[in-house]
Amino acid sequence: MQQHLRLNEYKVLLYRLLLAYLFYFISRVLFYIYNMDLLEVNSIMDFLPLCFYGLIFDTSAILYVNILFIALSILPVFKNTNQGFQKFLFYLYFGTNLLAYSTNFIDFIYYKFTFARTTIAFVSVLENETNKATLFWDFLLTYWHVWVLFLLFSALWIYLYKKVTVKGFVPTKKRYYFGFSTVGFMFIGLFTVLGIRGGQYEKKTQPINLMDANTHVKNIAHVDIVLNTPFALIRTLFSNHFSKPNFKDINPQVILKEVVPIKQYHNNPVTKPNVVIMILESFSREYMGTFNKNVKIPNYKSHVSFLDSLSQHSMIYTNAYANGRQSVHAMSSILAGIPSFKDAFTSSPYPKQKIESLVSVLEGQGYNTSFFHGAVNGSMGFLGFGKILGIDNYYGRTEFNDDSQFDGYWGIWDEPFLQYMKRTLDKKKTPFFATAFTLSSHEPFLLPEKYKNKFREGEMPIHKCVEYTDFALKRFFDEAKKEPWFSNTIFVFVADHCNKPYYDEYKKTVNRFAIPIMIYKPNSKLVGVDNDLAQQIDIYPTILDLIGYPKPFRSWGKSLFDKTSVEPFVINSTGSVYQFSKGNYICTFDGKKVLGFYDKEDKELKNNLIGKRNAEMNALELKCKAFIQDYMERVIDKRLATIQ
């Protein structure tokens, strides 16, 4: 009777699915071990509840991945127990499961760079790269231990799978067989759908998503322990995070007051200096000595002797933050004042529109505009977005035209490429606007052969590359200051995002976005230290303020020299949660509701003050919602070039 009613098959199916749960748990433990310095778990008793909550997301991922395997395992056909059919199911099971499982192992390492579980946005980062194979093999060789672990646990998984097999039989009473099989198919199908959606998880009408992982955590970093990478990839596969929120307490008047999306400055006379923006790959604020003078870090070491020296003659912003987590987020934030949150704006359905930006405004003032990036032309989508912005000239690896200086992975070494940039600017008619995006301070952290003994391995592999890029900048300045255009040029230095932190101070959740912003103009009064909040989207309005641009323009950021009309603030996103800082507090917001309020000094976001709400917190929530609503409406309605 049991054989006839297929109970043995159902038990084996359950066993096979439970194996997936076991190995997802193992990968979660390994993910924590590889990233324990970033994930801030105090004890095993804190870790185990996170694993328990993670079962909801494991269930969804496992059932998504195995939906075809489950369906074929329970179909009412006579040959389910046939050896050939079971062999087919074996290959289907491991073909899908091991592919999904491997993504968890990728995040053992990749998480150190992005501080978030990998989503489908990762594809947009790679789609313009021509060196995917090189990067893949380098990843395998550099982090061989990760793939050894993956192979070992995959082998164990296969071994355990084969330990329990389906018993062969041929049904004799076909009516009972089909009847029982149909009922079983319906029940298992129902539970599969419920599991994929998250069950009755808070009686949600929509399937669970990445934001739901915030429900049971007190520390935002713990969200990434609760989640798993297959779930993060699957749930973002067909999602569009650009949608109008339509908050009930937000209207156009509130947006005008709280966000002030249209700026206009009359602080300086109209001038036309050259403008050069240096976007420094992975230059965390942590690496720069002058930005850490008042940060109490024992045995602190700087890695930028030239920039530290230049900062003595510059305006530096010691409390500045990135608006995104990846290089593709930085270009739109810095040049157009358009931040990226859960997904990169440049990879969304909406960048192909007229956009008011530094490029368009300066071109309207008679500037020639250029973008320099030593990678393969089109890498990171910079070339495409540059065309949307209207950049006159793009200079990449093709224009450099000397692959003897190619690093073998990303592009031309920073020193020769910045020298090429200098020679190119020498030929430009002034005024000009140029942006350079460096690349040598990037995984796999290599140096030109002739400098391997000059810049040695520091506490972390990236340190020697940061020192090399700092040296490349010095070489650029040594040559540029000989030219007539140099003395009438505003230089802006800013990082695209952070990288692996070494000091505990920069492992804190908020400080994972901590970057330097520095403005230098030869022989000017732009010298000092500003400790107010600052962010990448402030660079666009700051430049227009400095040159005395007299007209109104669209900007979510503010001039860093404006201390009256808009209070300093910072907004960014962990990938699932917005972080909005202003005044005395930091607000965390999931897109629909506030999750917490924290004191501005609580960079680890440990002490949630939401139970002690006050008027300033309420005002902070209102400003956060107004910003998000205006952002989404302007992006979706294609109003990024209008001052309305």
Percent of the chain with pLDDT over 70: 93
Give the DSSP letter string of 202-228: GG-SS---GGGGGTT-SSGGGHHHHS-
Banded model confidence at residue 315, pLDDT cuts 50, 70, 90: very high
The pLDDT of residue 8: 82
Ranges 128-137, 409-418, 444-453, 600-609: which has the least confidence: 128-137
Ranges 60-64, 117-121, 373-377: which has the least confidence: 117-121
Structure-token pair, residue 130: 């021509």
Peptide bond into 230 cis (omega under 30): no
Residue 489 forms beta bridges with which residues?
274
Q: What is the pLDDT of residues 23-55, one digit of tens each?
A: 999 999 999 999 998 888 888 999 999 999 999
The pLDDT of residue 496: 95
Question: 113 with 125: CB under 8 angstroms?
Answer: no
DSSP letter (8 states) at residue 355: -
Q: Three-state DSSP class for 490?
A: strand
């004799």: which residue's tokens? 172
Task: Please indicate whether residue 325 or residue 331 has the higher confidence score (pLDDT).
Answer: 331
- Say yes or no to pLDDT of 202 above 50: no
Task: Compute CA distances 237 → 199, 209, 304, 340, whole Å.
Answer: 21, 12, 40, 18
Task: Please indicate whether residue 474 or residue 377 has the higher confidence score (pLDDT).
Answer: 474
The pLDDT of residue 113: 80
Among candidate residues 399, 426, 402, 427, the one with its CA nearest the CA of residue 413: 402
- Say yes or no to pLDDT of 193 above 50: yes
Contacts of 137 (CB under 8 A, 6+ apart): none
The pLDDT of residue 179: 73
Mean pLDDT (the chain, rounded): 90
The pLDDT of residue 191: 86
Banded model confidence at residue 2, pLDDT cuts 50, 70, 90: very low
């096979």: which residue's tokens? 16
The pLDDT of residue 181: 74
Question: 618 with 254: CB under 8 angstroms?
Answer: no
Residue 585 forms beta bridges with which residues?
582, 599
Question: 340 with 121: CB under 8 angstroms?
Answer: no
d(CA 402, CA 414) in angstroms, rounded, equals 13
- Say yes or no to pLDDT of 204 above 60: no
Ranges 57-71, 347-361, 524-538, 550-564: which has the least confidence: 347-361
Ranges 11-20, 107-116, 117-126, 617-626: which has the least confidence: 117-126
Q: Is 562 exposed, middle or buried (0-12, 13-18, 19+ CB in 10 A)?
A: middle
Strand 368-373 relative to strand 432-437: parallel, antiparallel, unpaired? parallel
Q: What is the pLDDT of residues 441-483, one digit of tens each?
A: 988 899 999 998 899 777 899 999 999 999 999 999 999 999 9
CA dihedral 622, 624, 629, 631 (to 10 degrees): 150
The pLDDT of residue 588: 96
d(CA 496, CA 280) in angstroms, rounded, equals 6
Banded model confidence at residue 136, pLDDT cuts 50, 70, 90: confident
Through-space distance between the first and last CA atoms of the chain, rounded to whole angstroms = 74
Q: What is the pLDDT of residues 212-221, one digit of tens each?
A: 787 677 777 8
The pLDDT of residue 156: 97
Q: Is 248 exposed, middle or buried (0-12, 13-18, 19+ CB in 10 A)?
A: exposed
Q: Is 225 exposed, middle or buried (0-12, 13-18, 19+ CB in 10 A)?
A: buried
Centre a 10 Å sphere on the Cβ of residue 385 and count the other Cβ atoms it contains.
Answer: 23
The pLDDT of residue 201: 42
**C-alpha 512 chain-centroid distance:** 11
Banded model confidence at residue 1, pLDDT cuts 50, 70, 90: very low
The structure's pTM equals 0.81
Banded model confidence at residue 170, pLDDT cuts 50, 70, 90: low
d(CA 317, CA 309) in angstroms, rounded, equals 15
Q: Which stretches of 66-173 are DSSP H helices?
A: 67-74, 83-114, 121-126, 132-142, 144-163
Among candidate residues 443, 127, 406, the one with its CA nearest the CA of residue 396: 406
Long-range (24+ apart) CB contacts under 8 A made by 614-623 are 616/583, 616/584, 616/585, 617/585, 617/587, 620/580, 620/582, 620/583, 620/585, 620/587, 621/587, 621/589, 621/594, 622/249, 622/250, 622/254, 622/258, 623/258, 623/259, 623/569, 623/580, 623/582
- Say yes or no to pLDDT of 72 above 70: yes
At residue 29's C-alpha, the angle toward residues 27 and 31, to 5°, is 65
Percent of the chain with pLDDT over 90: 69
The pLDDT of residue 34: 94
The pLDDT of residue 87: 93
Structure-token pair, residue 354: 């007229």
